[in-house]
């Protein structure tokens, strides 16, 4: 519209000529099907500079280039000719962005200010709710047969028709050309009071449209007969079936329309609308508007341009231009929305585009096997991108008169380097080396790795690394942020790579590039490094300098650097272990690193993360839940669960404390960073074993742990439906009991709901046979996706499988409100899932834009005006319909009220302060107490909602060895005069770690030689000490030689010193104590192992 109002006829003519010139110049490029890529050898037709850039670029780079309306930020320099083509596209293309609201249309039509025009588009639902209560009731009748995309289109067209009608003296006669099943016509007739006449060529469509009209009329009559006598009448559209001929005389056409629709004469006025006017139908509508005096407005959305035949070109100007003809291929390609492909490439859904490559390779095989069968109609293969190529070929060509053998597949070319399909290792190796050669040519000159900022904080090394440490090594830069579930998923891969390659020739560096403000703080990153067991060097790039300078665009991204510090390849997202390993191995061969005469600079020794140790029983507690007088705690940092009573006394420790995946007895079972846990019965617990990607069941009666779902490996299934460990999961984070839709009627809690953070979904485990939406039945033990598409976004919708979540990390159920409530951490919002209807809504926080995951902060208020920062936990006070939210990265607890209304209110509970990334909560309705896991403080707090009093729960045991577990339990003193924590890394082989502890006394004090000063040592399972476990303490250095064996388990090592001292001046005696905690962690990289350690205690 802006284009038409700012350009005159001559300007438009010049613009068209430039467009045609550009299209003619690139005719070979725009007349190309992906189908013919290999058959016609399109690759060789591309300029060499383009080939080099396309080889080294990834899918997101291509998306950047295609998205001409946005600034270009690619990983590698773009050839000038490609930049010029992109700029020409940008200048010559008409705007493709939709209008944000209908007001510009009214302004363009010069409507009077008094004419009502909304400042925002009505949604499909608004079209009804804005009318009357009857409209709300009938909404389901209208949308029963209409997909969401169509709902969006017809609601917009109806509103535009309403505005245009006002410009045309409130013209209410409308002819819907190509009306199909009459969805648009019904909306115009019912909500906007148009007199609609429908024309379609298909008899079946017309019959369906008449039936849907009758259904709507019956629903209205039924309502009028019951209680709503004032509900509006529904006249309904008229329908006819006949073909509109482009050569038809306009007078003849109007006579037909008048006779079909019972108009008294042919001079009636009308408007024309057409949604998806196929081929010649779109230009025909314009012809009707131009040539018919009775047609006062036209509104058309065209499609299927390759079917244009009689009506192109419409103007003599265009017909006289050279190169105005467009091929069938060109016209068909113009029907496809470029935005769809850009979105798939940007959102890493580009794996589905692999189907195009499959089809192109198959076309090559068909052209060689049976040329006459080229471009045959093949069978549709669902989820083809998840199949091996051979499987896809067999399914797509089933029933065709030929078969493909091994020799046919071996001729297939053009697979990307990291594709696992190729059956020719030598060919794959050659392709990889060709790629490495090409990338070296691209960066042979003019590229320098951006300098490192001296202010950056380094972790896991005693001094900052420099580029001298990078040189002569293959360097893997892991751009991550510690909140990101995908970043967590690749940590085991990085640990495996460390074990395979060591640090002599391959160096892994974590480049922490924070998303949230809270993640920029050194202490929080340090906690995350300890919590996740990261051993390689990590640097805190607070301002994301490298992120921006190297044009990184998503977490996680692995950038591989050559020994000369040049970029080689980037791997975005997760699941690339085998590809990265293969590429690094080939890069080492390519650069002949085994024969390098220049050894890399020796890395500085690993540092220990020194900090004051907490004297608590727990380590990074995650989720907590209540059962009668028991509290269940996920002691995530110790890879175990703990059951305590209300006073904090430990009643049961579940798990050996060794990170692993093992069923069995309570004391020998192994977990890996468990999170949500819940009592199902008095003696049965189910826990989300997060890093083992599984659900485990704990039977306190039989003292056993078993696996309900998952097998320790990350799954990528977005549907589920299996029963038992064969159903793979992805990072289940929290659990709650709730009801299936059918069970809501009885209140039975027949489903265990799972916040599946790894796939951004909500899943369910059927505890009993259950019934779900659309008549779907689930058997006892089935685990399945309940809501969420698997795309990481903040999308609210009435269709649960179309909704989008972003790393849901907390979940709770309200039987009263019949809904689940979700802490959607990466969108920083609280969401609801109505279990009766499946509707997903926003409660508070987040953005209105479902793709915007950066709407975070710290702001109380209502609805989307609220700002949270990565909330991890929530719990419901059902008596008050109040949600308590652990706003983790703001270190606060907030209360959300009016959760069922459009304006939920969120307020910070000011009485609760001093928290550090709280991750879980539980609420006791009887005592009105809120229990909080103060995660980074390794403790629990209790807040009384009525009295506003907050207190700590001290988790303790009745003696030092209550439970058989490899995690030692030391009964700690209330206060120590000195505390210190250090990390030691070991491998389960025979070794000795020599530790020397020196005592530094205050200059005014001396050791009382007559008093029984002593030291004490507590070790995990499988450890020994050459000097024993206790002894008398002298001020001399204390040697503690720790002996490691294959049976040694990870866990804390405690050294407690109790010293009796005297003042030198007056002989007054006193006692002082010190505690050292050595956190022993397994590490497969020998270069990182602790061989000796010198410590000092100050008394």
Edge-to-edge strands, sheet with 457-459: 457-459, 538-540, 506-512, 474-480, 557-561, 567-572
Q: Are 886 and 821 contacting, i.e. CB atoms less than 8 angstroms apart? A: no
In terms of Cβ atoms closer than 10 Å to its own Cβ (0-12, 13-18, 19+), residue 366 is buried
Q: What is the pLDDT of residue 1034?
A: 76
Cα distance between residue 330 and residue 308, in whole Å: 12
Q: Which residues of 937-954 are buried (b: 16+ CB within 10 A; e: fewer)?
A: bbbbbbbebeeeebeebe
Q: What is the pLDDT of residue 699?
A: 95
* The pairing of beta strand 506-512 with beta strand 474-480: parallel
Q: Are 752 and 771 contacting, i.e. CB atoms less than 8 angstroms apart? A: no
Q: How does residue 842 score in pLDDT terms, banded at 50, 70 and 90?
A: very high
User: pLDDT, tens digit, for every residue of 784-795?
Assistant: 999 999 989 999
Q: How many Å is the maximal CA-CA distance in the chain?
A: 123
Cα distance between residue 174 and residue 139, in whole Å: 23
11-25, 413-427, 825-839, 981-995, range with greatest mean pLDDT: 825-839
Q: Are 94 and 3 contacting, i.e. CB atoms less than 8 angstroms apart? A: yes
* The pairing of beta strand 295-303 with beta strand 270-278: parallel
Count other Cβ atoms within 10 Å, centred on residue 290.
Answer: 11
Q: Calculate mean pLDDT across residues 535-544.
A: 94
Q: Calculate mean pLDDT across residues 419-445.
A: 72
User: pLDDT, tens digit, for every residue of 592-601?
Assistant: 887 767 788 8
Q: Are 272 and 285 contacting, i.e. CB atoms less than 8 angstroms apart? A: yes
Q: Which of 439, 511, 438 is nearest to 470 (CA)?
A: 511
Q: CA quadruple 464, 469, 471, 475: dihedral positive or negative? A: negative
User: pLDDT, tens digit, for every residue of 460-477?
Assistant: 998 999 999 999 899 999
What does pLDDT average to over the chain?
84
Q: Which of 236, 273, 238 is nearest to 162 (CA)?
A: 273
Comparing 342-351, 449-458, 501-510, the range with the smallest average pLDDT is 342-351
Q: What is the pLDDT of residue 493?
A: 93
Q: What CATH number matches the domain at 455-595, 3.40.50.460, 3.40.30.10, 3.40.50.10860, 3.30.70.260?
A: 3.40.30.10
Query: What share of the chain has pLDDT > 90, as a percent?
Result: 39
* The pairing of beta strand 694-699 with beta strand 684-689: antiparallel
Supply the DSSP symbol for 352: G
Cα distance between residue 41 and residue 44, in whole Å: 6
**pLDDT of residue 729 exceeding 90:** yes
Q: Calculate mean pLDDT across residues 368-390.
A: 78
Q: How does residue 966 score in pLDDT terms, banded at 50, 70 and 90?
A: very low
Q: What is the pLDDT of residue 996?
A: 85
Domain 624-953 has CATH 1.10.1040.10: no
Q: Are 559 and 477 contacting, i.e. CB atoms less than 8 angstroms apart? A: yes
Token output for 14: 């010049």
**pLDDT of residue 115 exceeding 70:** no
**Chain mean position to CA 1062:** 61
Q: Are 475 and 560 contacting, i.e. CB atoms less than 8 angstroms apart? A: yes
Q: Tell me the sheet residues that pair with 658.
A: none
Q: Calculate mean pLDDT across residues 558-564.
A: 92
690 versus 569: the higher-pLDDT residue is 690
Domain 123-311 has CATH 3.40.50: yes
161-165, 314-318, 481-485, 590-594, range with greatest mean pLDDT: 481-485
Q: Which of 523, 522, 533, 519 is nearest to 482 (CA)?
A: 519
Q: What CATH number matches the domain at 978-1098, 3.30.70, 3.40.50, 2.40.128, 2.60.40?
A: 2.60.40
Q: Are 750 and 768 contacting, i.e. CB atoms less than 8 angstroms apart? A: yes
Q: Calculate mean pLDDT across residues 728-747.
A: 95
Q: Which of 658, 659, 615 is nearest to 1021 (CA)?
A: 658
Cα distance between residue 476 and residue 468, in whole Å: 15
Q: Calculate mean pLDDT across residues 380-390.
A: 76
Token output for 338: 């470029």
Q: What is the pLDDT of residue 312?
A: 75
245 versus 934: the higher-pLDDT residue is 934
Token output for 432: 């990889």
Q: Which residues of 42-70 are buried (b: 16+ CB within 10 A; e: fewer)?
A: beeeeeeebebbbebbbbbbbbbbbbbee
Q: What is the pLDDT of residue 46?
A: 85
Q: Are 657 and 627 contacting, i.e. CB atoms less than 8 angstroms apart? A: no
Q: What is the pLDDT of residue 380?
A: 80
Residue ranges covered by each domain of the chain: 1-97+313-345, 123-311, 455-595, 624-953, 978-1098
Q: How does residue 1096 score in pLDDT terms, banded at 50, 70 and 90?
A: confident
Q: What is the pLDDT of residue 691?
A: 95
Cα distance between residue 253 and residue 291, in whole Å: 11
Cα distance between residue 796 and residue 830, in whole Å: 11
Cα distance between residue 448 and residue 366, in whole Å: 47
Answer whether the bond into residue 313 is a cis peptide, omega within 30°: yes
Q: Calculate mean pLDDT across residues 490-510.
A: 91
Q: What is the pLDDT of residue 486?
A: 92
With 0.75 as the threshold, say if the pTM is over it.
Answer: no
Q: Calculate mean pLDDT across residues 388-417.
A: 68
Three-state SS for 572? strand
Q: Which residues of 532-550 are buried (b: 16+ CB within 10 A; e: fewer)?
A: bbbbbbbbbbbebbbbeeb
Q: What is the pLDDT of residue 865?
A: 94
Q: Which of 1064, 1061, 1058, 1057 is nearest to 1008 (CA)?
A: 1061
Distances (CA, A) of 469 to 179, 758, 1090: 69, 35, 21
Cα distance between residue 166 and residue 115, in whole Å: 8
Q: Which of 722, 720, 633 is nearest to 685 (CA)?
A: 633
Beta strands in 151-269 (DSSP E): 173-177, 195-200, 238-241
Supply the DSSP symbol for 123: P
Q: What is the pLDDT of residue 231?
A: 54
Comparing 276-280, 350-354, 628-632, 771-775, the range with the smallest average pLDDT is 350-354
In the numeric block, the tokens 């409100």 are attached to 817
In terms of Cβ atoms closer than 10 Å to its own Cβ (0-12, 13-18, 19+), residue 779 is exposed
Q: Which of 804, 820, 808 is nearest to 730 (CA)?
A: 808
306-310, 429-433, 588-592, range with greatest mean pLDDT: 588-592
Token output for 999: 């005592």
337 versus 787: the higher-pLDDT residue is 787
Cα distance between residue 379 and residue 387, in whole Å: 15
Cα distance between residue 331 and residue 304, in whole Å: 8
Cα distance between residue 929 and residue 924, in whole Å: 5
User: pLDDT, tens digit, for every residue of 518-528?
Assistant: 999 999 999 99
Token output for 849: 């834009």
**pLDDT of residue 348 exceeding 70:** no
Q: What is the pLDDT of residue 774?
A: 87
Q: What is the pLDDT of residue 252?
A: 72
């Amino acid at each position: 519209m802006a284009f038409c109002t700012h350009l005159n006829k001559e300007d438009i003519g010049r613009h068209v000529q430039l467009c045609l010139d550009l299209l003619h110049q690139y005719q070979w490029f725009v007349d190309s099907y992906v189908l013919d890529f290999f058959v016609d050898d399109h690759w060789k037709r591309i300029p060499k500079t383009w080939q080099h850039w396309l080889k080294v670029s990834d899918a997101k780079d291509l998306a950047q280039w295609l998205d001409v309306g946005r600034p270009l930020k690619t990983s590698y320099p773009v050839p000038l000719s490609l930049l010029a083509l992109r700029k020409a596209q940008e200048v010559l293309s008409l705007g493709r962005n939709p209008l944000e609201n209908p007001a510009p249309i009214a302004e363009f039509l010069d409507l009077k200010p008094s004419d009502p025009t909304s400042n925002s588009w009505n949604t499909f639902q608004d079209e009804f709710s804005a009318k009357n209560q009857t409209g709300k009731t009938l909404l389901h009748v209208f949308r029963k047969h209409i997909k969401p995309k169509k709902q969006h289109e017809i609601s917009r067209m109806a509103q535009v028709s309403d505005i245009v009608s006002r410009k045309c003296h409130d013209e209410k006669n409308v002819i819907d050309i190509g009306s199909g099943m009459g969805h648009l016509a019904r909306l115009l007739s019912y909500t906007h009071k148009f007199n609609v006449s429908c024309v379609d060529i298909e008899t079946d469509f017309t019959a369906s449209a008449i039936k849907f009209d009758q259904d709507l009329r019956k629903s209205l009559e039924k309502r009028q007969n019951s209680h709503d006598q004032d509900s509006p009448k529904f006249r309904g559209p008229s329908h006819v079936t006949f073909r509109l001929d482009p050569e038809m005389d306009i007078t003849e056409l109007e006579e037909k329309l008048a006779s079909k629709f019972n108009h008294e004469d042919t001079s009636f006025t009308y408007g024309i609308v057409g949604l998806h006017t196929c081929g010649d139908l779109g230009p025909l509508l314009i012809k009707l508007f131009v040539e018919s005096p009775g047609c006062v407005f036209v509104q058309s959305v065209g499609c299927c341009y390759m079917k244009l035949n009689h009506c192109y070109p419409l103007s003599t100007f265009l017909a006289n231009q050279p190169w105005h003809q467009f091929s069938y291929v060109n016209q068909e390609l113009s029907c496809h929305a470029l935005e769809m492909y850009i979105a798939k490439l940007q959102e890493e859904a580009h794996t589905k585009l692999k189907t195009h490559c499959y089809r192109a390779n198959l076309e090559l095989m068909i052209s060689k096997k049976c040329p006459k069968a080229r471009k045959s109609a093949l069978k549709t293969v669902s989820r083809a991108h998840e199949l091996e190529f051979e499987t896809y070929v067999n399914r797509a060509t089933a029933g065709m008169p030929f078969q493909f053998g091994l020799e046919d597949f071996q001729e297939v070319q053009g697979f990307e380097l990291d594709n696992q399909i190729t059956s020719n290792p030598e060919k794959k190796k050659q392709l990889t080396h060709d790629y490495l050669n090409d990338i070296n040519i691209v960066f042979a000159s003019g590229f320098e790795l951006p300098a490192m900022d001296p202010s950056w904080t380094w972790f896991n090394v005693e001094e900052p690394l420099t580029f001298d440490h990078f040189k002569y090594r293959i360097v893997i830069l892991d751009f991550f942020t510690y909140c990101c579930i995908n970043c967590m998923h690749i940590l085991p891969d990085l640990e495996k790579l460390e074990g395979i390659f060591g640090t002599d020739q391959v160096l892994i560096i974590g480049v922490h590039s924070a998303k949230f403000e809270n993640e920029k703080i050194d202490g929080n990153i340090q906690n995350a490094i300890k919590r996740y067991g990261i051993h390689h060097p990590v640097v805190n790039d607070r301002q994301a300098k490298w992120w921006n300078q190297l044009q990184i665009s998503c977490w996680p991204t692995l950038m591989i650097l050559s020994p000369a510090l040049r970029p080689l390849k980037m791997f975005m997202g997760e699941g690339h272990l085998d590809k990265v390993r293969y590429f690094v191995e080939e890069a080492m061969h390519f650069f002949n690193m085994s024969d390098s005469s220049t050894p890399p600079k020796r890395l500085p020794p690993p540092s220990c993360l020194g900090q004051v140790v907490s004297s608590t029983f727990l380590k990074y507690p995650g989720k907590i839940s209540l059962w009668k007088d028991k509290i269940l705690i996920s002691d995530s940092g110790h890879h175990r669960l703990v059951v305590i009573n209300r006073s904090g006394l430990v009643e049961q420790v579940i798990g050996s404390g060794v990170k692993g995946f093992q069923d069995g007895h309570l004391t020998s079972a192994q977990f890996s960073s468990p999170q949500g846990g819940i009592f199902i019965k008095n003696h049965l617990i189910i826990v989300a074993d997060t890093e083992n990607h599984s659900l485990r069941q704990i039977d306190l009666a039989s003292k056993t742990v078993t696996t309900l779902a998952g097998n320790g490996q990350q799954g990528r299934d977005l549907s589920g439906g299996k029963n038992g460990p064969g159903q793979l999961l992805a990072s289940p984070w929290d659990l709650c009991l709730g009801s299936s839709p059918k069970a809501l009627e009885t209140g039975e809690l027949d489903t265990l709901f799972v916040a599946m953070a790894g796939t951004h979904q909500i899943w369910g485990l059927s505890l009993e046979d259950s019934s779900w939406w659309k008549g779907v039945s689930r058997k006892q033990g089935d685990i399945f996706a309940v809501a969420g598409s698997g795309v990481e976004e903040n999308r609210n919708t009435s269709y649960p499988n179309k909704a989008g979540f972003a790393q849901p990390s907390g979940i709770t159920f309200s039987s009263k409100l019949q809904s689940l409530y979700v802490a959607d951490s990466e969108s920083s919002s609280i969401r609801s899932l109505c279990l009766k209807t499946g509707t997903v809504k926003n409660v508070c926080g987040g953005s209105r834009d479902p793709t915007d995951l950066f709407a975070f902060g710290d702001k109380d208020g209502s609805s989307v005006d609220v700002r949270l920062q990565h909330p991890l936990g929530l719990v419901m006070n059902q008596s008050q319909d109040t949600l308590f939210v652990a706003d983790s990265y703001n270190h606060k607890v907030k209360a959300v009220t009016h959760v069922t209304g459009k304006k939920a209110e969120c307020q910070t509970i000011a009485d609760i302060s001093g928290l550090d990334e709280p991750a879980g909560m539980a609420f006791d309705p009887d005592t009105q107490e809120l229990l909080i896991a103060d995660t980074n403080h390794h403790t629990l707090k209790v807040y009384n909602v009525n009295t506003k009093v907050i207190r700590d729960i001290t988790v303790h045991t009745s003696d030092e060895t209550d439970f058989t577990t490899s995690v030692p339990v030391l009964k700690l003193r209330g206060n120590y005069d000195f505390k210190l924590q250090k990390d030691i890394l070991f491998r389960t082989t025979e070794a000795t770690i020599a530790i020397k502890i020196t005592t530094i006394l205050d200059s005014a004090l001396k050791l009382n030689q007559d008093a029984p000063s002593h030291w004490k040592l507590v070790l995990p399972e499988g450890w020994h000490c050459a000097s024993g476990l206790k002894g008398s303490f002298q001020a001399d250095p204390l040697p503690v030689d720790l002996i490691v064996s294959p049976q040694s388990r990870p866990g804390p090592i405690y050294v407690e010193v109790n010293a009796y001292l005297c003042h030198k001046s007056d002989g007054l005696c006193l006692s002082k104590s010190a505690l050292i905690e050595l956190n022993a962690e397994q590490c497969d990289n020998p270069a990182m192992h602790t061989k000796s350690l010198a410590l000092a205690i100050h008394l």
